[in-house]
C-alpha cells in the first residue's frame, strides 16, 4: 500500500516543478535560459547516476543507422513542453498550466493507442474512451472557472476581448504541450527498449534537450551571465535549482514502478497528485506563486476530470 504513495508524490513533483522553474525564470529573466538550466541540472544528475550504475554514455552506430528519426525527438518535445510550462505558468496560472496539458496528454495517448504510433501497442478506441474524453473536457471547462463566469461569481476577473483572445492561444499551446509530453513518453519508452536501459534512454533524451536549449539560447543571444546573477540573487531560494532533478526522478520513478504496480495505476495516481498539488499551489500561493482561490466549480471540475481519466484508462465497453 505504501508503494502507491510514490506515484502520487511523483505527480505532486511535476506540479511543483512548474512553479519552481517559473521562480527560476524570474531570476534568469528568460524562460529559455531557465529551461536550459533545469535540463542541464537534470542531465548532470543522470550523468552521475549513469556513471554510478555503470551505464553506457554513448549510442552504438548500429542503433543510429537502423532506427527511425523520430526515436530521437523525445528530448525535443520535452524541451518544448518544459519551456512552454515556464511561460504558461506566468500567463495562465498553475492550475490551467497543469489541467490543459493533461487534457492534451490524455487525448494524444488515445491517438497513440488507437494507431500504435511510435511502436506502441495498438489499443483501439472504444465507447468508454470517448465517454471518458467527454468527461475530461467537461472537467477542464469547469476547472477553468467557466461556470463561475456564467453564475456571475468572478466578474472582476473578466478579461478584455483582446486579452481573452491572447489567453486562448496560450491555452491551445498548453494542450499541444501536453500532447508532446505524451509523445515523449511513448518515444522514450521505445528508446529504453532499443537501448535496453531506461537510465540510458533518459540520459540520451536529456542530452538532446540540453543541446537544443543551449543552441536556442545562443541563437537568441541570451546573456548567460544571468545565471551567475541568479545564483547571487537567489541564494535564499535553494529550491529553484531542483526542477530538473524532479523531472529526471519522475522519468526514472515511472520506469521503476510500472513493472511493480502497472502503467495504469502509475499514470492515474501521478495525475491525481499533480492535479491536487497544482490546485494547492494556486490556492495558497505556494513557492511564491500568485494566489488564486480554487472555487467550488474548479474543485468539481478537477473531480470530474479525474473520473474521466479513470474511465479512459480502466473502463472497457
C-alpha pair distances (Å), 202 with each of 4, 73, 88, 125, 262: 23, 12, 25, 29, 20
Distance in angstroms (rounded) separating the CA atoms of residues 250 and 283:
24
Count: domains in the chain: 1
Asked whether the predicted pLDDT for residue 113 surpasses 80, the reply is no
Which pLDDT value is given to residue 33? 84
Within a domain: 5:
no
Within a domain: 180:
yes
Domain range for 154: 15-314
Q: Quick one: cell of 252?
A: 526514472
For residue 242, what is the DSSP state?
Answer: -
Q: Residue 226, class by beta-carbon neighbours within 10 Å (0-12 exposed, 13-18 middle, 19+ buried)?
A: middle
Q: Among the listed ranges 12-16, 100-104, 313-317, which one has the minimum average pLDDT value?
A: 313-317
Interval 19-66: pLDDT, tens = 887 778 778 777 788 888 888 999 999 999 999 999 988 898 988 898
In the predicted model, what is the mean pLDDT of the chain?
Answer: 79
Beta carbons of 42 and 207 less than 8 angstroms apart? no
Q: Residue 125, class by beta-carbon neighbours within 10 Å (0-12 exposed, 13-18 middle, 19+ buried)?
A: middle
Distance in angstroms (rounded) separating the CA atoms of residues 278 and 297:
16
Distance in angstroms (rounded) separating the CA atoms of residues 197 and 71:
15
Asked whether the predicted pLDDT for residue 183 surpasses 50, the reply is yes
C-alpha pair distances (Å), 87 with each of 24, 174, 209, 309: 12, 10, 17, 26
User: For residue 226, which of 18, 88, 31, 3 has the smallest C-alpha distance?
Assistant: 31
Within a domain: 40:
yes
Helices 5-28, 263-284: axis angle to 10 degrees equals: 50
For residue 47, what is the DSSP state?
Answer: H
Within a domain: 204:
yes
Q: What is the pTM of this model?
A: 0.76
Within a domain: 97:
yes
**270-296 average pLDDT score:** 78
Within a domain: 267:
yes
Q: Could you tell me what percent of the chain has a pLDDT over 70?
A: 86
Confidence of residue 161 (pLDDT cuts 50, 70, 90): very low
Within a domain: 168:
yes
Which pLDDT value is given to residue 157? 46
Distance in angstroms (rounded) separating the CA atoms of residues 50 and 253:
15
Q: How many CA atoms lie within 13 A of 169 on its CB side?
A: 6
Q: Could you tell me what percent of the chain has a pLDDT over 90?
A: 11
Amino acid at each position: 500500500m505504501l508503494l502507491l504513495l510514490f506515484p502520487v508524490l511523483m505527480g505532486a513533483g511535476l506540479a511543483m516543478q512548474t512553479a519552481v522553474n517559473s521562480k527560476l525564470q524570474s531570476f534568469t529573466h528568460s524562460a529559455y535560459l531557465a529551461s536550459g538550466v533545469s535540463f542541464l541540472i537534470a542531465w548532470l544528475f543522470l550523468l552521475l547516476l549513469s556513471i554510478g550504475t555503470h551505464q553506457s554514455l554513448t549510442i552504438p552506430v548500429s542503433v543510429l543507422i537502423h532506427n527511425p528519426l523520430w526515436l530521437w525527438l523525445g528530448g525535443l518535445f520535452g524541451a518544448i513542453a518544459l519551456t512552454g510550462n515556464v511561460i504558461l505558468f506566468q500567463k495562465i496560472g498553475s492550475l490551467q498550466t497543469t489541467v490543459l496539458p493533461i487534457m492534451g496528454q490524455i487525448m494524444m495517448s488515445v491517438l497513440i493507442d488507437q494507431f500504435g504510433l511510435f511502436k506502441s501497442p495498438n489499443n483501439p478506441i472504444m465507447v468508454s474512451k470517448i465517454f471518458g474524453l467527454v468527461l475530461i473536457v467537461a472537467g477542464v471547462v469547469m476547472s477553468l472557472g467557466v461556470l463561475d463566469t456564467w453564475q456571475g461569481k468572478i466578474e472582476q476577473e473578466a478579461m478584455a476581448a483582446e486579452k481573452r483572445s491572447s489567453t486562448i492561444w496560450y491555452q491551445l499551446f498548453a494542450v499541444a504541450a501536453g500532447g508532446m509530453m505524451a509523445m515523449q513518453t511513448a518515444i522514450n519508452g521505445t528508446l529504453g527498449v532499443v537501448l535496453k536501459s531506461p537510465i540510458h534512454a533518459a540520459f540520451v533524451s536529456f542530452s538532446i534537450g540540453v543541446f537544443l536549449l543551449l543552441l536556442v539560447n545562443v541563437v537568441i543571444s541570451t546573456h548567460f551571465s544571468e545565471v551567475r546573477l541568479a545564483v547571487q540573487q537567489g541564494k535564499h531560494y535553494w529550491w529553484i535549482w531542483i526542477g530538473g532533478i524532479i523531472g529526471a526522478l519522475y522519468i526514472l520513478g515511472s520506469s521503476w514502478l510500472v513493472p511493480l504496480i502497472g502503467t495504469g495505476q502509475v499514470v492515474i495516481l501521478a495525475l491525481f497528485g499533480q492535479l491536487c498539488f497544482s490546485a494547492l499551489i494556486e490556492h495558497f500561493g505556494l513557492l511564491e506563486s500568485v494566489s488564486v482561490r480554487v472555487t467550488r466549480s474548479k474543485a468539481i471540475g478537477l473531480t470530474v476530470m479525474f473520473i474521466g481519466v479513470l474511465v479512459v484508462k480502466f473502463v472497457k465497453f
